[in-house]
Amino acid sequence: MEIKEVEFIGSFERESQCPKDMVPEYAFIGRSNVGKSSLINMLCNRKGLAKVSNTPGKTQTINYFRVDDAWHLVDLPGYGYAKISKKMRHKWESMIERYLITRPQLQVIFVLLDSRHELQSIDLEFVNWLGDRRVPFVLVYTKIDKLKRLQVEDNIKRIQNGLLKYWNTLPDQFITSSEKKEGRQEILDFIGDLNNNF
C-alpha cells in the first residue's frame, strides 16, 4: 500500500467527540519521546504532519488524520514522563483508556518501543493492560539507526524476553527508523491487509 493523500481532521479531548465515520482506525501510542511523531510523518511521507518536539508530552489530544479518504490514522498522547500536573495526567489516562476500550472502528494499536533501551516497566504495564482487555496491538521498535545493528538486535531480544515472561506469544512486530524510512512499507502493507478485511 502507498499513501497518496493525508488530511488533518482535528484534535479531540474525548472519545465521544471523535469522528463517527465507520472507517478503519489505527492508533499510535508510546512513551513520551519514543519518536511517535517522526514515525507518523515518515509513514505518511509528510514532514510536518505530526508535530515533532524535544519536549515530552507535547501531544495532549486525540489527533485524527484521514488517509486516502479511506481510513484514519490516530495520534494518541504519549504515556510516561511529561511535565504536567497529576490532575492533567489522570485526565489524559482516562481519555486514552476510554478511546482504546470503546472505539468500534479501532483495528489495532501500534505500541512504540525505543530500541535503544531495555524494556521499561511502564511499557510492560501498558502492553499487559491491553492484553487484559483484549485490545489488539502490535509492537513497533523505533530509532534503530541510533545504534549499531548488533546492539539493536540484542536490545530487541531482551525486550522480547522480558515480554515473554508474561505472554505465551508476541504480536506482530515492526523494526523502524524514521530517518532511513525502514519498516515503512511493512507497516503500510499490514494496514492495507487489515483495510481489505474491514
Tell me the backbone φ, ψ of residue 109, rounded to 5 degrees.
-100, 130
CATH architecture under which domain 6-193 falls: 3-Layer(aba) Sandwich (3.40)
Q: How far apart are CA 127 and CA 181, in angstroms?
A: 25
The SS3 of residue 105 is coil
Q: Which residues of 7-22 are buried (b: 16+ CB within 10 A; e: fewer)?
A: eeeeebeebeebeeee
pLDDT at 14: 86
Determine contact, residues 31/76, Cβ cutoff 8 Å: no
Distance, in Å, from the CA atom of 74 to the CA atom of 64, rounded to the nearest integer, reads 5
* Three cell numbers written together for 6: 493525508
What the block records as the C-alpha cell of 143 is: 530509532
Residue 47 DSSP code: T
| 34-38, 47-51, 60-64: range with lowest mean pLDDT | 47-51
Does the structure show a pLDDT above 60 at 142? yes
Compute the average pLDDT of residues 166-192: 97
Q: What is the pTM of this model?
A: 0.91
Say how far apart CA 10 and CA 17 lie, in whole Å. 10
Average pLDDT, rounded, for the chain: 89
Reported as a single tens digit per residue, the pLDDT across 114-128 is: 999 999 999 999 999
Q: Which three cell numbers stand for residue 89?
A: 495526567
Determine the residue type at 98.
Answer: R
Between 89 and 136, the more confident residue is 136
- Closest to 29 measured CA to CA, from 111, 107, 90: 111
Amino acid 103: pLDDT: 94
| Average pLDDT of the residues in 30-45 | 92
DSSP 197: T
pLDDT at 55: 47
Let me know: does 122 contact 75? Beta carbons within 8 Å: no
Domain coordinates in residue numbering, the chain: 6-193
Q: CA 116, CA 56: separation in Å to the nearest integer?
A: 17
pLDDT-derived band at 61 (thresholds 50, 70, 90) equals confident
